[in-house]
Copies of this chain bind each other. A is one copy, B any other.
């Protein structure tokens, strides 16, 4: 086992750890540890809400979650010799839930998927599912089942939702400016168009007092992916993957967390993965001047791993960029197209007895693939959602007999 450079006691909040992590992007958060290029090391992580969600049958915790403390990240970890313009080469050697344990924190043998309430987080289908819902998943080695979504068992495509390097002060300022400009186009929107810096709930490692306040005022929220990597939620950052992160500050300052036992492309219910705490083992290296050498000016590039669960039979749903309720045509809008593909999948699964919420949670968490299939056949972008048929313990393929409807239980709801 490689050396643990950032450790976590899962019975304590991140703020109470010996060396606490952070929950904002800011170049002045001090490094919690330092590693050398060529080395291997372990990072332990808390679940992204810092343990606010429980292994129970009520979604009230999801409804009432305090998002000001999210995502709770481990780091920053300084990489010796890294300079702006380099590419940080990060190999994911291993990752998983909290090893050798059973307990109350997500990752200790279980995880959850949440549909967030429209008023507190929202999600991709929040107009269709405005309330809070939850499914708890039990881990069986590589596989997961949920008492809230019976009839389903799948192999997790385990990955970190969020890792990234620190932004420079200038890059951070650009983020804040462009996101505020977006917010200003509709400041009262629920859910909001973007999340500005927020003092409430801020944690910045060992910083305290005015320095912590400054991070609260300036630090970028962790929800979106940006030029530093960040919250990609790309399900293919699995074991064996290699990510090339742009370096924006000396030492690179790598941070992350938000581990997922599994997730479908899009992570559509916002908290749509199977959320957990756990660990990641990395190997790190540098390509000096790699950003210029390879033309990497904005986002990281990566190579996915070769131990992903391979499902080969899929039932696939298509969506196009039309609002079918109002018969309104959008122009080449892949977001709407993928939303329609998701809605089509949900309608289909309802015919077998699942509730819409169960179906929504399922296609969020299971290893579904979401494809940008066509983006040139104007005006209709075309996206597709691939649902592996083998995750069901009954036949979900269309037949002349029609669907086998059954009692499929219920997911956790809020009061």
Contact = CB atoms under 8 A, between A and B. Distances in A.
Contacts of A372: 265-266, 334, 338, 370-372, 383
A372 B122 CA distance: 18
A275 interface: no
A226 B320 contact: yes
Contact of A299 (B233, B236, B344, B376): B344
A389 B226 CA distance: 25
A281 B378 CA distance: 28
A181 to B, nearest CB: 7
A327 interface: yes
B93 A140 contact: yes
Given A142-B239, A192-B378, A293-B402, A301 B315 contact: yes
CB-based closest 5 A-B pairs: A93-B141, A94-B141, A224-B380, A334-B334, A370-B372
B311 A312 contact: yes
Interface in A186-244: 191-195, 223-226, 231-236, 239-240, 244
Contacts of A306: 155, 309-313
B301 A344 contact: yes
Contact of A296 (B102, B348, B373, B400): B348
A415 interface: no
Given A141-B92, A293-B403, A338 B375 contact: yes
A25 interface: no
A129 interface: no
A45 interface: no
Given A140-B40, A225-B380, A398 B178 contact: no
